[in-house]
Amino acid sequence: MDLAVEVENLTKRFGDFVAVNEVSFSVAEGEVFGFLGPNGSGKSTTIRILCGLLSPSSGHARVAGLDVWRDAERIRQRIGYMPQFFSLYDDLTVAENIEFYAGLYQVPPALALARQSELAEVLELGPVLDRLARTLSTGWRQRLALATSILHRPPLLFLDEPTSGVDPLTRRLFWEVIGDLAHEGITVFVTTHVMDEAEHCTRLAMMHYGRLIAEGTPEEMRTEHVQTMVEVQAHPIWPVLQALEKAPEVVEVALFGDAVHAELRCDLNDAEARVERKLQTAGVAYERVVAVTPSMEDVFVSLARRWERPTAAGADR
């Protein structure tokens, strides 16, 4: 399989601040590549470099085999980009925005109209085509932005947090559309800070403070990086949290909804029993202890803490 994106030791500095730190990964054609990480971890910066909008400070990045900085102009027609923040014209209508970008990508007018009605159908934009973008709510603006970025059928699509700030229905629609695009053979590079959206991706990379801390399929992420996850339900929950934080066999404890998720260092069949024993000796009341499959958020919290520890506690490692 050909590589749609190749990144080697990519670093981006803003003055003294390192926003992207020696990052390497690659994306194969046809993948839905999820780029995860909390706010400020360097996702948008990486995407902007890949779109030729920012120069890399060091390292290499290639899109379709072309250097993103030197050959930026040759890449333009082959990529679509939906920025994190709405970047279309407030004082143009939805249809006018679409028409404008169709013109810039030199989509022939007849084809542009056909694509517009097709996209209006898929993204349910029909009723708002003649409304000024200014009057739309976030969900609709995001739909318009997505439509604009795929008008010219780019083989590679960059979506920067397409689902941030949108309602659950739009969110689901977006992932359906992303799935359809991938089905047509379009490579999708999508960032999100909502870890559980990662389930929709074929492969993931996780960013934290500008570093890439893990990479793999969602399945690999769950099984390789987190050993054993136990969920404890209790009322009140705080004593459980405190009791487990002190236990030596517990790697991580975190609140998850109204339960506690604890990651353990031992193997699975023993885990529930160990936790129950721990809670009983500490004299803490609980309702239920069950082993669970770790969610992507668990994976991230666990990985992030592991990365933070050496800087936080110095000689710990």
Partner 1 sequence: MSRLRALLRKETRQMRRDPVLLRMMLIAPIMQLFLLGYAATNDVKNVPVALYDADRSTDSRLLAELIGHNHYFHLIATPDDPRALERLLLAGKAQLGVYIPHSFHRDRLRNATPTVGLYADGTDSNTAGVAVAYMLGLLGEQGLRWQLQQARAAGVGTSGVPQLLPEPRVWYNPELKSSHFMVPGVLGMILMTLALNTAALSIVREREGGTLEQLMVTPLLPRELILGKLLPLVVLSYVEMLLVLAVALGWFRVPLEGSVPLLLLMSLMFLVSALGQGLLVSAFARTQQEAQLTSFLLLTPSMLLSGFMFPIQNMPRVIQWLTYAIPFRYYLEIIRGVFLRGAGIEVLWPQTAALTGISLLLIALGVLSFRKHL
Ligand X SMILES: Nc1ncnc2c1ncn2[C@@H]1O[C@H](COP(=O)(O)OP(=O)(O)O)[C@@H](O)[C@H]1O
Binding site for partner 1 (CB under 8 A): 48, 51-55, 72-73, 76-77, 79, 81, 83, 85-92, 96, 99-106, 148
CB of 163 to Mg ion, least distance (A): 13
CB of 4 to partner 1, least distance (A): 16
Q: Which is nearer to ligand X, 80 or 210 (CB)?
A: 210
Q: Under the criterion CB under 6 A, does residue 155 sit at the interface with ligand X?
A: no
Q: Under the criterion CB under 6 A, does residue 208 sit at the interface with ligand X?
A: no
Q: How far apart are CA 34 and CA 14, in angstroms?
A: 25
Q: Which two tokens stand for residue 18?
A: 């390192």
CB of 53 to ligand X, least distance (A): 10
Q: Which is nearer to partner 1, 150 or 221 (CB)?
A: 150
CB of 141 to partner 1, least distance (A): 12
Q: Per residue in 59-94, is it b (16+ CB within 10 Å) or e — as a string? A: bebbbbebebeeeeeebeeebbbbbbebebeeeebb
Q: Which is nearer to ligand X, 17 or 184 (CB)?
A: 17
| Residue 294, preceding peptide bond in cis (omega within 30° of 0) | no
DSSP state of 132: B
Q: Which is nearer to ligand X, 94 or 299 (CB)?
A: 299
C-alpha Rg value of the chain to the nearest Å: 23
| Of 295, 236, 287, 284, residue with least CA distance to 261 | 295
Query: What x-and-dash track marks residues 13-52 binding ligand X by CB under 6 A?
Result: -x--x-x-----------------x-xxxxxxx-------
- Decide: residue 209, CB within 10 A, 0-12 exposed, 13-18 middle, 19+ buried: middle
CB of 6 to partner 1, least distance (A): 19
* Phi/psi at 30 (5° precision): 85, -5
Query: What x-and-dash track marks residues 75-94 binding Mg ion by CB under 5 A?
Result: ---------x----------
**DSSP-derived 3-state class of residue 53:** coil
40 binds, among ligand X, partner 1, Mg ion, none (CB under 5 to 8 A by kind): ligand X
By CB under 6 A, the residues from 121 to 140 that bind ligand X are: none
Q: Which is nearer to partner 1, 90 or 287 (CB)?
A: 90
42 binds, among partner 1, Mg ion, ligand X, none (CB under 5 to 8 A by kind): ligand X
Q: Largest alpha-carbon pair distance within the chain?
A: 74
87 binds, among ligand X, partner 1, Mg ion, none (CB under 5 to 8 A by kind): partner 1
103 binds, among ligand X, Mg ion, partner 1, none (CB under 5 to 8 A by kind): partner 1
Judge whether 12 and 19 are in contact, CB under 8 Å. Answer: yes
**DSSP-derived 3-state class of residue 232:** strand
Residues 6+ apart with CB under 8 A from 174: 142, 146, 162, 163, 166
CB of 107 to partner 1, least distance (A): 9
* Phi/psi at 271 (5° precision): -60, -50
Q: Which residues bind ligand X (CB under 6 A)?
A: 14, 17, 19, 37, 39-45
Contacts to Mg ion by CB under 5 A: 43-44, 84
